[in-house]
A = this chain, B = another copy of it.
Amino acid sequence: MKKFVNDPVMFVDEMLEGILEAHPDQLSHCADNKRNIVRVPRADKVGLVTGGGSGHLPLFMGYVGEGLLDGCAVGGVFQSPSADQIYEITKHVDAGKGVLYIYGNYSGDIMNFEMAGEMAAMDDIETAHIVGNDDVASAPTGEEHKRRGVAGIFFIYKAAGAAAERGASFEEVRRIAEKAKANVRTMGVALSPCIIPEVGKASFSIEDGEMEIGMGIHGEPGIMRSKLAPADEVVDHMMERILADIQLEEQDEVAVLVNGLGATAKEELYIVYRRIAHVLKERRVSVFHVYVGEFATSMEMTGFSISVCKVDEELKDLLRQNARTPFFEQAKF
């Protein structure tokens, strides 16, 4: 196991200690639990809370901060946080304007966020759920409700976060989050697995020189395993699937996110983007903005995902706003 760890059982808690120690001016925790990450100072606005398993940094807690989210319930590696954690965070961030839950489409997360929402209701805190399901590889068109949430959730965070920051109402922030969700599609490819520290070995195996298109960020099976193809071919295949699903027309505008899964060099992510730009130009689709980097990882997995988010003037305006967390900064543009 080529990892820098101490006791693997302490992986998540030591990581959190490091994060809280490094960024005390931006992040804190609530209810005496370092797995309940909250933004400092608290903001007087619609609350935005996320949560999910560890091992995906900057997902999920990396988006807690100015112009983005207010709190994040952190689970064990690839494990859901508890309903209690989510409930404690909900109470902490609530400013009497409602709290919107934004998380990925995984059964454990859904169950715990729903339970937390019921607990919050007893305290008269209004909540609603936005369940990210951008991964087109995980279920066919028409069965979107079965799709996993992956890197595309960034666009939901960014749009809803900017709206909440400028004082939008609960219903308005919810509408915008739904709109971003409806307009984003993602597909991933992996070349190597990651290792869950407590397990100590890879959760699946893949031959050297093989790739798996459509693999999930926990190593869920993809839709095609084959010999590693040249980057352009891989991109063409992925973009074909994404574009078949999102129905773009000429003159449409998109934001693009090329997300490294952990071990893939940034140099390669730009070789990938080069081809994405070609494909979009051929379709006469305009690129509004491009994000390249690690936004949703699977620790040291080799691979990347492409997210395409169709944008209109409202979403463009929200994406342009500034944001600041210890993991993601953006000046207004």
User: A residues bordering B, Cβ < 8 Å?
Assistant: 1-7, 11, 14-19, 21-23, 25, 54-55, 57-58, 191-192, 194, 208-209, 228, 230-232, 234, 262-274, 277, 290, 292-294, 297, 299-300, 302, 304, 322, 324, 326-327, 329-331, 333
Contact = CB atoms under 8 A, between A and B. Distances in A.
A231 B300 contact: no
A272 B15 CA distance: 8
Nearest to A3: B268
A159 B268 CA distance: 30
Which of A22, A55, A273, A330 gathers the greatest number of chain B CB atoms within 10 Å? A22
A266 B294 contact: yes
Contact of A2 (B14, B17, B57, B192): B192
A23 B208 contact: no
Contact of A55 (B55, B263, B267): B267
17 contacts: A4-B191, A4-B264, A4-B272, A7-B230, A14-B270, A15-B268, A22-B270, A22-B277, A22-B290, A22-B292, A57-B267, A194-B265, A265-B300, A267-B299, A294-B294, A329-B329, A329-B330
Contacts of A4: 191, 231, 234, 264, 268, 271-272, 304
Given A5-B231, A329-B329, A21 B57 contact: no
Given A231-B4, A267-B11, A300-B263, A273 B208 contact: no
B274 A21 contact: yes
Given A22-B290, A57-B267, A262-B263, A228 B273 contact: no
Contacts of A271: 4-6, 11, 14-15, 18
Given A3-B265, A208-B2, A273 B304 contact: no
Contacts of A266: 57-58, 294, 297, 327
A234 to B, nearest CB: 6
